[in-house]
């Protein structure tokens, strides 16, 4: 991301983040956003492209976290 794009985000991150690409999003940008969460201290982040059903995880999920990606995509 450019410095201008990065300026839109707080310099902190949630422990877990899930980003679902919209129809107008470029999935590469969605993946870049979750990588920023991890770079800023997040533990686990996932990018989901509902068009292709692609799931890109980053980091390590917290113990006991179970995500149903099919349910998220189909919502």
Model confidence pLDDT, tens digit, residues 8-49: 766 677 899 999 999 999 999 999 999 999 998 999 999 999
User: What tokens were used for 8?
Assistant: 């839109």
Query: Pairing state of beta strands 44-49 and 16-20?
Result: parallel
Domains and CATH numbers, the chain: 3-74 (3.90.1570.10)
Q: State the Cα–Cα distance between residues 75 and 71, nearest whole angstrom.
A: 6
pTM, two decimal places: 0.81
Residue 9 is predicted with a pLDDT of 66
């Amino acid at each position: 991301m450019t410095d201008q794009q990065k300026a839109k985000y707080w310099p902190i991150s949630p422990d877990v983040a899930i980003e679902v690409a919209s129809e107008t999003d470029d999935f590469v940008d969605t993946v870049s956003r979750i990588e920023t969460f991890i770079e800023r201290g997040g533990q686990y982040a996932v990018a989901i492209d509902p068009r292709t059903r692609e799931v890109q995880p980053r980091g390590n999920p917290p113990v006991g976290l179970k995500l149903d990606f099919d349910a998220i995509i189909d919502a």
